[in-house]
Chain A
């Protein structure tokens, strides 16, 4: 058993990150999961949340939104629909996105026939919140 994990984050647009790390927390659909070296093979859905990793030199956060995580032989692959490194996040933009989506959602709730839209807006809000959390 090695002492290191390899973390790889890929999105449909690019390969965001590939790094040796000691410890990773991933935002799975059922809650946060901490992964240490030697973890049993695991495949899980991701929700929108903050992924954080730690190695000897740094401790960093990444916002990941929906997708899958595969843990296999000390290799973690994150397939996210979208992902952003914490330092690249536009916090102001995320805040305005959140406000916009929230006000739209309030509108949608007034009528009952737009459930699909409500779900989508809720996801948008969640993503905006995640981005702000990751940037902190």
Chain B
């Protein structure tokens, strides 16, 4: 039987934890708003880029460009974008598990996988598992991370053109809305031209290319890859804050439920103590 003092101690420790989770929730909420804004601002650009590429790739021979040409087997590189910090629910674990079952799957058309991880959590997950980590970036500020990602993607594109590996995948959490984020593994290289959206009136229009279709393709394809990685990072960032907000909200709720239960226990114990004291006094008085 817990004494009054024990219950009180327990309650105060829960109160402390609740204050922390509440503050973390608030911080995550405001960070998420900013991250969400960044992602909604970046969507028009990536959608337009996609539309242009699908227009362009209709007009040119698919195997003409090294970034479009499919190569079988060989090595695959996966860019894993995870978070540096935990306490964001199952966000990283879900993504890593999905990737973990994706990597040994030979039916995807590659033999060996190499990982490039961004963020501490993904690195730690795969440190002791299959799939060797070629390089990892961690504990960077948001802007530094974006720069690191961009220069890494540029290097990877060059290596891909040189034939050092045959597939490039991007693994991240896609931000759907505040309560839902989906882990996604997306093939980035070779580029699969996005299907032209039928509603778009300009589908099938014959464009004039200046200076030439090939020249534009040369410039736009690497940029498309970079943009995908960049939006992946933004998506993951927004997902992180959203997931943390939900997790911390749940934690705060749990803490207040627990507090309510303990409060009842405390009141009962207090009353029991008073009752027993009264009985003692009364029976003492009767005895006299």
Contacts and interface: CB of A to CB of B under 8 A. Distances in A.
A41 interface: yes
Nearest to B220: A68
Nearest to B41: A14
A73 interface: yes
Contacts of A29: 210-211
A15 B52 contact: no
A41 B201 CA distance: 12
B41 A68 contact: no
A15 B47 CA distance: 12
B210 A72 contact: no
Contacts of A12: 42, 45-46, 227, 230
Chain A interface size band reads: 20 to 34
A29 B105 CA distance: 45
Contacts, number: 68
Interface stretch (A42-50, A53-61, A84-92, A127-135): A42-50
Contact of A72 (B205, B215, B219): B205
B40 to A, nearest CB: 9
Given A11-B45, A29-B210, A79-B52, 17 more contacts: A10-B44, A12-B42, A15-B41, A15-B45, A28-B210, A40-B208, A41-B206, A42-B210, A43-B55, A43-B207, A43-B208, A43-B209, A43-B216, A44-B209, A70-B52, A72-B205, A73-B205
A67 B181 CA distance: 31
A113 to B, nearest CB: 19
Contacts of A73: 201-202, 205
A73 B200 CA distance: 11
B49 interface: yes
Q: Which 8 A-B pairs have the closest CB atoms?
A: A44-B210, A14-B41, A72-B202, A10-B45, A41-B207, A10-B44, A42-B208, A15-B44
Contacts of A79: 45, 48-49, 52
Nearest to A79: B48
Nearest to A42: B208
Interface of A: 10-15, 28-30, 40-45, 68, 70, 72-73, 77, 79
A44 B52 CA distance: 11
Interface string B220-246: 100000010010000000000000000
Contacts of A15: 41, 44-45
A68 B201 CA distance: 19
Interface string B52-86: 10011000000000000000000000000000000
B65 to A, nearest CB: 16
10 contacts: A14-B42, A15-B41, A15-B44, A42-B210, A43-B56, A43-B210, A68-B216, A70-B48, A70-B207, A72-B207
B205 A41 contact: yes
Interface string B186-217: 00000000000000011001111111000110
B48 A77 contact: yes
B41 A44 contact: no
B54 to A, nearest CB: 12
Contacts of A13: 38, 41-42
A44 B207 CA distance: 10
Nearest to B56: A43
Nearest to B49: A79
Nearest to B52: A70
Contacts of B38: 13
Interface in B69-121: none
A30 B201 CA distance: 28
B21 to A, nearest CB: 33
A14 B48 CA distance: 12
B234 to A, nearest CB: 9
